[in-house]
Amino acid sequence: MARGPYAAIAAAIVAVSLSSILIRWSESDAFTIAFYRLGFATLILLPYAAIDRTTPLRHIARRDVVLMAGIGVVLAAHFALWITSLKTAGVTVASSVVLVTSHPVMVALVSHFLLKERVSGLTAAGIALGFSGVVAIAFVDLGVSTTTLGGDLAALGGGVMAGIYFLAGRRLRQRISLPVYAFVVYGTAAFALFVLAAGTGRIAPTGDLRKEFLLFGAMAIIPQLGGHTLYNWSLRFVTAPVVSVSLVGEPIGSSLLAWLLLNEVPSNLVALGALLALAGIFLTAYSTAGAASETST
């Protein structure tokens, strides 16, 4: 297999790992950050979506447009919740990013208990490890304050929204090109976040406007387009183990960058919970991705 997709995933992991650092550097409200991040990303994608000939915008079925709009609202909820978590006092970058990345565990739990789908032993072990790590982080942060625990729950909610986002978009991406899909989804998310930010009086950035807009642009270009969009493209060409490793790459990268750039070191107990959760995320993603590839062959 060509090395291109692997290099793309490595670059995407670095890009998305910078997301939490850029958010922490911003002085604006969570809803404001989320709106401008998705808004700028949508504007950058507009010319690419307009010239795309694979699935022209005007030829997309109305049903697919409605589905993509729904996915966009879910993506808006993901960013609103997760960025709120990062802006909550006492919540570390490590705990927030681990919790928001735990969506493979959350999806597997829903599939087992609500959808009554059988899971393999490896998936069950991943669920157990991942959930124990999530509980450990929540327990430690409850000892800090209920506000910190609320930030953890916001990150966990953001992870659930991410799981829905990935699951819902999988089939649509098979028949809609990446530029068009990303433009419609990001655009809908930006509009939903605009309504949320304007409705709560948080549309205007705070602090140094030049610095804030530079950060918003960096978020749109580096983690959103250079991270998420590139990541979605490259995962079509790699194996299940690479998918699993890439999922745990962001929390590890973000935690290291927070240590280097923000001088933020999680407590020993939070670090232990994060290690358990990351092991669970890896096992769950590896087993479910492997099962999906076997089913499709």
Structure-model confidence comparison of residues 244 and 214, the more confident one: 214
Residue span of the structural domain in which 23 resides: 4-296
pTM of structure = 0.87
Separation of alpha carbons 77 and 127, rounded Å: 24
CB of 198 closer than 8 Å to CB of 78: no
Structural domains in the chain (count): 1
Per-residue pLDDT tens for 217-264?
999 999 999 888 887 777 667 665 566 667 788 888 899 999 999 999
242 or 62: whose pLDDT is higher? 62
Burial category of 32 from C-beta neighbours within 10 Å (exposed 0-12, middle 13-18, buried 19 and up): buried
